[in-house]
Structures are given as structure tokens and as C-alpha cells.
């Protein structure tokens, strides 16, 4: 007989697979030579500001999401990917198409490569394509920072050594979706199947080669109240900084299609986090970071019903402040924000547990 926690995890995994349904078989045939997305935006690069190119490569998708585990409870990025695996040459073409957006831009530049999975998973990106892409990045002297994304299991010493050798003295960061430093929250609420120990080991392997870790921290996975979610995100930030990460990237949950989060949201059992909660976590992160760790947040669908939102009246001002903070690290941008809805948010923090019981 499984333990009660294992039984709950089984139920959540089952519900996640169910929410994904047949959507996995309905992925569109994509042009394998074009990236899923590519855009340039102002970005924080080390202690400076510059332009950052984000590239989302179109791949077959995250191995965890493709597996019988069903992927994470809030993530539908798998469905944006390709139904067949592009070739090494295709990946290189995707990369080159995106890189053209940097034409004529001055240093310092940052290039962030996302795959909606793991750039370092050889079953997702062939090693030949990875090496060619890294080689091109190393030959462009305007590029001061490279950010890659990976789950911890693909962060190995030999890979770290090779990346460092290729990219020279650039700032290199690996983005890992830690989400929560609480194993129970990560396993149960998110259905993400790695533990804090493997995250810690990845931070160390990367650090041995002067490669930083950008920890993605999730705000408000399902099954937590606003207050528990806020506290969990703050604890995660503190723990991640203690473990030696170089950047904190806060991600408020947004309601993506064909996910368990969407199922709960449709039943009125999930509300994305308040923007006030986002501000609160960022304030806490700024204080914990003590200027040594960058704190950024680029909320998806902010101010919209499926994204982090407040009352509608104050949303754009708060989102603007969040973006300004991410760029400047100046926490005072939050000082003059106020709205009537702040009272309702505070009320939610204090009484949501009780109201959940009353309205059961």
C-alpha cells in the first residue's frame, strides 16, 4: 500500500495527464527551420542594462511533459512545440533566423535560449546543434551574457566544462525551474519530479565552472492559498539565494490551456496570484539578495484574467513598476503604488483559509 502522500501524488499525476488529454496528439506541424518565437527587449546584463534576445527553439518538447508523468500542473509549453523532432541543421537554421534580430545592435547584448524543455537534453537538442550554436555565440563579441535552460539531470561536469571553454569569460547562466524549495510543494502541487538535493548539486557543478544559476521561482501553484503561496515563494527565494544562485526569476502562475491549473480555474478552484503578492515577494527577494543576486520578473498575461492580476484599475501601474524594478533593481518603484483593492488582497491573505472551510 502506498503512503497517503504517494496516493495524493498519484491522483494529481493522473489529473495532470487527464487535463493534457489528447492535446499532445493535436500539436500543429511546424516549420522545423523557424523558431517558435524570438524577440528583443531591454534587459539586465550583469550590473548593466542592454538588449536581450530571447529565442524559443521549436523542439519536440520537455521529456518530463512527454512522459507518462504528464508534466507540470501549470505548464502547456509542450503544446507549442513540434510534433516531430527537428534535425541538427533545422535547429541551427532556427537559431540563425532569431539571431538576425541582433543585426546593428551595440554591446552589451544577452542571448537567452529557451526550448520549453531542456537545451542540454541531447534527446531534445542534438549535441551537434548545441555545439554549433554555442560556437556562433562565442564568436560574437557583443554578446556579454548567455542564458540557457535545463532541468538539473542534464547539468553534468563535462557539459559545464565544455560550455565554459566555448563561451570564454562571458556571463553564463543556466535557468532551472526550481519552482519551490519545498519538496512536497514541488512533487505534489507542481508534479515536478526532481528533489532539492539534485538542484543543489546542479548549482555546485555549475559554480565549479563559474556558471551561474537562474532559479525560476513559481508564485502560487495550485492547492495553496494566496498566503501559503506567498510564504512558499519567499522561503524559496531565501533558500535559493542561500544555495548560491545568481539570479532569481519570479514566475506568477498563469492559466495555460490543457493543464490541471486550467481545470481547477474553470471550476472556480484556482485564482492566479494577486499582483500585490508579486510585489511583496519581489520586495522580500530584493532584501534577501543584498545587491549580490539579480531579481527579475516578467509576468505572463499580467493584468489579464488568466494571469496575475489585481482589480483591473491598478493593474497596468503595478505591472509597469514590476518591469521597471526588474530592469533597475530599484525597489522604491513600488513605494507609491496603492489602490482600494489592496484591502481586499489583505483580507484574502488573512481569511482565505477560513472562507474555504465556510464555503465548502
Find the part of the chain contacting Zn ion (CB under 5 A) among 35-43, 99-107, 140-148, 306-314. 306-314
Query: Which string of x and - marks every residue 313-342 that binds Zn ion (by CB under 5 A)?
Result: xx------------------------x-x-
278 lies in the binding site for Zn ion (CB under 5 A): no
CB of 268 to Zn ion, least distance (A): 21
CB of 327 to Zn ion, least distance (A): 23
Upstream peptide bond of 108 is cis (omega within 30 degrees of 0): yes
Q: What's the distance, Cα to Cα, between the start and end of the chain in Å?
A: 30
Considering CB under 5 A, how many residues would be counted as binding Zn ion?
6
Is 103 or 340 the residue whose CB approaches Zn ion more closely? 340
CB of 359 to Zn ion, least distance (A): 23
* Planar angle of CA 295, 299, 303, nearest 5 degrees: 135
Is 266 or 350 the residue whose CB approaches Zn ion more closely? 350
Q: How far is CA 190 from CA 81, 220, 233, 260, in A?
A: 21, 10, 13, 10
Is 63 or 275 the residue whose CB approaches Zn ion more closely? 275
Is 56 or 339 the residue whose CB approaches Zn ion more closely? 339
- Pull the grid cell for residue 276: 500585490
CB of 314 to Zn ion, least distance (A): 3
Site for Zn ion in 133-162 (CB under 5 A): none
CB of 317 to Zn ion, least distance (A): 9
Task: State the Cα–Cα distance between residues 14 and 68, nearest whole angstrom.
Answer: 9
Is 200 in contact with 233 (CB distance < 8 Å)? no
Task: State the Cα–Cα distance between residues 37 and 97, nearest whole angstrom.
Answer: 10
CB of 312 to Zn ion, least distance (A): 7
Is 264 or 339 the residue whose CB approaches Zn ion more closely? 339
Find the part of the chain contacting Zn ion (CB under 5 A) among 120-128, 157-165, 310-318, 349-357. 310-318
For Zn ion, the binding residue among 311, 317, 324, 327 (CB under 5 A) is 311
Is 55 or 339 the residue whose CB approaches Zn ion more closely? 339
- Pull the grid cell for residue 24: 499532445
Is 120 or 322 the residue whose CB approaches Zn ion more closely? 322
- Counted residue by residue, the chain has a size of 360
Please provide the DSSP assignment of 222-285 as one string: TTS-HHHHHHHHHHHHHHHHHHT-SEEEEEE----TTSHHHHHHHTT---PPPHHHHHHHHHHH
CB of 69 to Zn ion, least distance (A): 38
Is 65 or 339 the residue whose CB approaches Zn ion more closely? 339
Query: Which string of x and - marks every residue 341-360 that binds Zn ion (by CB under 5 A)?
Result: x-------------------
Is 337 in contact with 279 (CB distance < 8 Å)? yes
Q: What is the DSSP letter of 87?
A: P
Is 301 or 311 the residue whose CB approaches Zn ion more closely? 311
Q: Is 67 exposed, middle or buried (0-12, 13-18, 19+ CB in 10 A)?
A: exposed
Is 190 in contact with 152 (CB distance < 8 Å)? no
Find the part of the chain contacting Zn ion (CB under 5 A) among 143-151, 231-239, 256-264, 308-316. 308-316
For Zn ion, the binding residue among 181, 310, 326, 334 (CB under 5 A) is 310
Task: State the Cα–Cα distance between residues 315 and 277, nearest whole angstrom.
Answer: 12
- Pull the grid cell for residue 165: 571553454
CB of 344 to Zn ion, least distance (A): 8
317 CB-near residues (< 8 Å, 6+ apart): 337
> What residues line the site for Zn ion (CB under 5 A)?
310-311, 313-314, 339, 341
Amino acid at each position: 500500500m502506498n503512503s497517503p502522500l504517494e496516493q495524493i501524488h498519484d491522483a494529481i499525476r493522473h489529473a495532470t495527464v487527464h487535463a493534457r488529454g489528447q492535446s499532445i496528439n493535436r500539436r500543429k506541424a511546424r516549420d522545423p527551420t523557424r523558431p517558435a518565437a524570438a524577440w528583443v527587449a531591454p534587459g539586465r546584463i550583469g550590473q548593466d542594462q542592454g538588449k536581450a534576445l530571447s529565442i524559443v527553439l521549436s523542439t519536440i518538447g520537455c521529456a518530463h511533459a512527454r512522459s507518462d508523468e504528464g508534466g507540470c500542473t501549470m505548464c502547456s509549453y509542450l503544446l507549442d512545440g513540434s510534433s516531430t523532432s527537428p534535425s541538427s541543421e533545422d535547429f541551427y537554421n532556427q537559431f540563425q533566423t532569431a539571431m538576425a534580430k541582433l543585426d546593428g545592435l551595440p554591446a552589451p547584448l544577452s542571448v537567452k535560449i529557451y526550448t520549453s524543455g531542456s537545451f542540454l537534453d541531447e534527446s531534445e537538442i542534438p549535441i551537434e546543434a548545441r555545439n554549433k550554436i554555442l560556437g556562433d555565440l562565442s564568436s560574437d563579441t557583443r554578446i556579454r551574457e548567455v542564458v540557457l535552460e535545463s532541468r538539473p539531470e542534464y547539468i553534468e561536469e563535462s557539459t559545464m566544462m565544455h560550455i565554459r571553454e566555448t563561451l570564454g569569460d562571458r556571463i553564463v547562466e543556466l535557468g532551472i525551474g526550481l519552482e519551490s524549495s519545498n519538496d512536497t510543494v514541488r512533487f505534489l502541487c507542481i508534479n515536478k519530479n526532481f528533489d532539492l538535493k539534485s538542484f543543489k548539486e546542479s548549482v555546485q557543478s555549475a559554480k565549479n565552472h563559474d556558471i551561474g544559476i537562474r532559479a525560476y521561482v513559481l508564485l502560487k501553484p495550485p492547492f495553496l492559498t494566496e498566503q501559503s503561496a506567498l510564504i512558499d515563494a519567499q522561503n524559496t527565494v531565501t533558500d535559493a539565494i542561500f544555495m548560491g544562485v545568481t539570479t532569481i526569476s519570479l514566475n506568477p502562475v498563469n492559466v495555460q490551456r490543457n493543464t490541471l491549473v486550467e481545470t481547477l480555474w474553470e471550476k472556480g478552484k484556482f485564482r492566479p496570484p494577486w499582483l500585490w503578492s508579486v510585489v511583496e515577494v519581489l520586495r522580500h527577494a530584493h532584501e534577501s539578495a543584498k545587491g549580490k543576486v539579480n531579481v527579475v520578473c516578467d509576468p505572463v498575461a499580467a493584468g489579464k484574467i488568466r494571469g496575475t492580476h489585481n482589480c483591473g484599475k491598478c493593474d497596468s501601474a503595478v505591472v509597469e513598476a514590476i518591469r521597471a524594478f526588474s530592469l533597475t533593481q530599484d525597489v522604491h518603484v513600488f513605494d507609491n503604488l496603492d489602490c482600494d483593492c489592496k484591502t481586499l488582497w489583505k483580507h484574502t491573505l488573512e481569511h482565505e483559509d477560513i472562507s474555504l472551510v465556510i464555503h465548502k
